[in-house]
Amino acid sequence: MKAAVRYYSRGGNTKKIAEAIAKAVGTEAKTVAEPLTEDVDVLFLGSAPYAFDADEEVKKFIKNIPVNVGKAVNFSTSAAVKSTRKYVEKLFAEKGIPLAKEEFSCRGAFLMLHKGRPDANDEKAAADFARKILA
């Protein structure tokens, strides 16, 4: 099964989780600035909520997916909001890409909140989650 990992991260939290997922599924984590160049069975897409929405770069990435994607899997980091799913769900539907019900989310450090997160336990949980998705 061919997988791709894309993410958007301002502070590095989502990048850490993206890298853990990519390592677990045998691919490279790339930012949403790098478009998909070939069909994939599973696209893991990670971000964090910014002003209670997905960042414009994430929205642009989804709208401009130029290849076939079997399904998308959402993952996110956040200091407050649990998941970014509701911000990307409609965009994937408009592209005809199913969004998996399963998703991964964990706390991310922001200012004084959740210092040290995501940590090694979060990275392990993300890797385990990704392996289960591809199993």
40-55 pLDDT, tens per residue?
999 999 998 877 778 9
* Cα separations in angstroms, 12 against 53, 64, 79, 119, 128: 18, 24, 13, 12, 20
Q: Which of 13-17, 67-71, 81-85, 93-97 has the lowest mean pLDDT?
A: 81-85
Residue 112: per-residue pLDDT: 62
Residue 4: per-residue pLDDT: 98
The domain that holds 97 is classified in CATH as 3.40.50.360
Q: What is the mean pLDDT of residues 121-130?
A: 97
Residue 110: per-residue pLDDT: 66
Say whether pLDDT at 117 is over 90.
Answer: no
Give residue 23's identity as a one-letter amino acid code: K
> For residue 52, what are the domain limits?
3-130
Which tokens go with 67?
A: 């290849």
Domain count within the chain: 1
Kindly state whether residue 108 falls inside one of the protein's structural domains. yes
| CA separation for the pair 32, 26 (Å, rounded) | 18
Kindly state whether residue 40 falls inside one of the protein's structural domains. yes
Say whether pLDDT at 80 is over 70.
Answer: no
Q: List CB contacts of 115: < 8 A, sequence separation 6 or more.
A: 109
Kindly state whether residue 135 falls inside one of the protein's structural domains. no
Say whether pLDDT at 77 is over 70.
Answer: yes
